[in-house]
A and B are shown apart, each in its own frame.
Chain A
Amino acid sequence: GENVEQHPSTLSVQEGDSAVIKCTYSDSASNYFPWYKQELGKRPQLIIDIRSNVGEKKDQRIAVTLNKTAKHFSLHITETQPEDSAVYFCAASQEGLIYNQGGKLIFGQGTELSVKP
């Protein structure tokens, strides 16, 4: 089955610097890659996602890149702020229109990002 590896497990940056979190996946059939942000004791919230027909997607200070050949994707946060401090999870799934195919998200182990003022 699918396996998702996420690195680093912890990341500390100064406010204003960039942060990059990387994930690799094993199943070449995976075609949907969301990123979630989870603040302490709260629910994971979707911050950005990308599909396999796109190489890059950007939303203000957040961007995600996908390399299908190498089977890895990355989250880039620019101009980090203290409120970006949280645990970030990548995930992968196989989306499809056929019943019993797709919908199962396999998550990475998470990256605890700390942004120091």
Chain B
Amino acid sequence: DGGITQSPKYLFRKEGQNVTLSCEQNLNHDAMYWYRQDPGQGLRLIYYSQIVNDFQKGDIAEGYSVSREKKESFPLTVTSAQKNPTAFYLCASRRKQGLDQPQHFGDGTRLSIL
């Protein structure tokens, strides 16, 4: 789905460092989501936002923070409090909830510890 852009593709974090993953969409979607993917564990929801200036914690929000200042942007910050950040991070978006509104994913960011 070319309308959801995640950057960078690869990211390295040093001890004690905060890093921010970018997610931008030009699909005019209302809701945006961040997932973490670890081998053999599927996708787990970190945070989601259904409208601008509002967001909710997912199942594994500890050590992460987000903001939703613009409809098209939903950056994720991995803080130093997240002790095991190495994973594949996927951003997704969808239209306002209702019938037939599936989530579409970006290409992901692979985060590793230096």
Select one of A6, A44, A109 contacting B105, CB under 8 A. Answer: A44
In the bound complex, what is the Cα–Cα distance between A106 and B58 (angstroms)? 10
When A and B form their complex, what is the total count of cross-chain residue pairs whose Cβ atoms lie within 8 Å?
62
In the bound complex, what is the Cα–Cα distance between A104 and B31 (angstroms)? 10
Q: How many B residues, CB 8 Å from partner?
A: 29
Q: Which residues of A contact B44 (CB under 8 A)?
A: 107
**Cβ-defined contact, A89 with B106, below 8 A:** no
- Is A46 on the interface with B (CB-CB < 8 A)? yes
Contact surface of B with A, Cβ cutoff 8 Å? 1, 31, 33, 35, 40-45, 48, 50-51, 56, 58-59, 90, 94, 97-99, 101-108
Contact surface of A with B, Cβ cutoff 8 Å? 1, 6, 9, 34, 42-46, 49, 51, 89, 95-97, 99-110
